[in-house]
């Protein structure tokens, strides 16, 4: 042994104080971690550790835990005994040891009510989705906040939604999730709905989106706020199709997938939401809805529009707006920064503002005027 001397061994036998045992424990563990032991020496050291994990002095056991927590080749039984010790002893191995298996960690989470131990597990460099779900099931705000703060933790959307009741009622958890970032559209939409204005602005900045200048007194504020967290390009993109469909399904299940919202999504260039929403209301696969919406004639569009039970008075206005929007975005692939201005210019240039029923109302939305024509607004709710 490089660090342990004969004098140390003599002290251990002649002066077996806690201080001496703690010092020698650190030396043996340092030699063990070096990897220079022969197989026989490693086995002897492990036997010494098995004696030390039962030491009456907590300081000795704590020293052993601190020295072995980063060592990958410590026998499993030693690490497990340290992990099940008093909190002060257990924390280093719970937070760091890779010797502990997934099953070990989940068993400890389920069997202990000690928040400090649970937080140590939540801080591990990597936390699997299954272990995260187990930690969420503790329903302890401090533990869950620690988990949310850990960017190395994988947390499934379904598990966040399962814990939504607790999350939505906690300012701390909501703020921690906003700061964490990387949220799915489904989770982001739910969070955006309940957080303070300051956190709304933070979300807008983090997700690089722009909030609509909504009139807070308007009855349709909720829909404008929801549209405020959509991807800023609003384009139909294969990379976000799943998220968009999840969001549309969530709105539908919550009775919030209204005709008004779909019309507004089209007006602000969120074509993927319009397409997925119409498909959902019509009860057809999204790819089928896309084919019908893109039909160069009028029959396909008319069929999907009627099946989705969209408002009759807006049929022509929406058909014209969709055509122009698709042309100005290369069929949903790109969206220019001046999208709204280009759409308005096209509508006026082609005279649709005079010839198409309710086009003025849609123009008021495209231009950012929430109020619009009151009677027209009532027709789409």
- List, for residues 121-135, the tens digit of each pLDDT value: 999 999 999 999 999
The structural domains of the chain, with segments of one domain joined by +, span 1-84, 212-379
Token pair, residue 19, equals 């201080």
Per-residue pLDDT, averaged over 202-206, amounts to 69
More confident residue, 347 or 213: 347
Computed over every residue of the chain, the mean pLDDT equals 81
Answer for the pair 186, 161: CB distance below 8 angstroms, yes or no.
yes
Give 196's DSSP letter: -
Would the pTM of this model clear 0.85, i.e. be above it? no
**Helices 259-267 and 315-328, axial angle in degrees (round to 10):** 40
* Tens-place pLDDT, residues 158-183: 899 889 889 988 999 999 998 888 87
Answer for the pair 33, 73: CB distance below 8 angstroms, yes or no.
no
Residue pointed to by tokens 């969001």: 247
**E strand or H helix at 189:** helix 185-194
Give me the torsion for CA of 52, 55, 57, 62, rounded to 10°. 40
Dist. CA 122–CA 116, nearest whole Å: 10
Confidence at 380, pLDDT banded by 50, 70, 90: very low
Answer for the pair 119, 146: CB distance below 8 angstroms, yes or no.
yes
Give 127's DSSP letter: B
Confidence at 224, pLDDT banded by 50, 70, 90: low
């Amino acid at each position: 042994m490089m660090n342990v001397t004969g004098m140390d061994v003599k002290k251990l036998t002649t002066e077996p104080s806690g201080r001496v045992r703690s010092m020698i424990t650190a030396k043996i563990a340092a030699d063990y971690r070096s990897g220079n032991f022969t197989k026989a020496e490693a086995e002897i050291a492990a036997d010494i550790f098995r004696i030390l994990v039962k030491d009456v002095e907590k300081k000795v056991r704590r020293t052993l835990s601190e020295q072995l927590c980063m060592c990958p080749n410590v026998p499993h039984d030693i690490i497990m005994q340290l992990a099940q010790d008093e909190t002060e002893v257990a924390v280093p191995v719970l937070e760091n040891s890779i010797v502990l298996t997934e099953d070990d960690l989940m068993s400890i989470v389920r069997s202990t009510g000690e928040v400090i131990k649970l937080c140590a597990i939540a801080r591990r460099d990597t936390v699997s989705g299954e272990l995260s779900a187990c930690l969420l099931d503790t329903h302890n705000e401090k533990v869950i906040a620690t988990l949310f703060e850990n960017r190395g933790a994988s947390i499934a959307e379904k598990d966040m939604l399962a814990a939504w009741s607790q999350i939505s009622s906690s300012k701390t958890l909501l703020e921690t999730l906003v700061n964490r970032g990387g949220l799915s559209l489904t989770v982001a939409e739910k969070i955006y709905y309940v957080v303070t204005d300051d956190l709304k602005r933070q979300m807008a900045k983090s997700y690089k989106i722009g909030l609509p200048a909504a009139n807070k007194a308007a009855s349709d504020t909720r829909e404008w706020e929801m549209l405020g967290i959509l991807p800023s390009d609003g384009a139909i993109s294969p990379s976000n199709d799943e998220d968009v469909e999840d969001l549309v399904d969530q709105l539908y299940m919550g009775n919030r997938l209204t005709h008004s919202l779909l019309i507004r999504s089209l007006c602000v260039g969120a074509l993927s939401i319009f397409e997925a929403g119409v498909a959902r209301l019509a009860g057809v696969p999204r790819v089928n809805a896309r084919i019908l919406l893109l039909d160069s004639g009028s029959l396909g569009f008319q069929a999907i529009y009627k099946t989705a039970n969209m408002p009759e008075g807006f049929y022509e206005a929406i058909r014209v707006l969709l055509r122009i929007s698709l042309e100005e975005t290369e069929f949903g692939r790109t969206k220019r920064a001046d999208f709204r201005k280009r759409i308005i210019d096209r509508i006026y240039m082609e005279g649709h503002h005079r010839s198409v029923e309710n086009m003025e109302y849609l123009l008021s939305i495209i231009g950012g005027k929430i109020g619009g024509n009151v009677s027209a607004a009532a027709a789409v709710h």
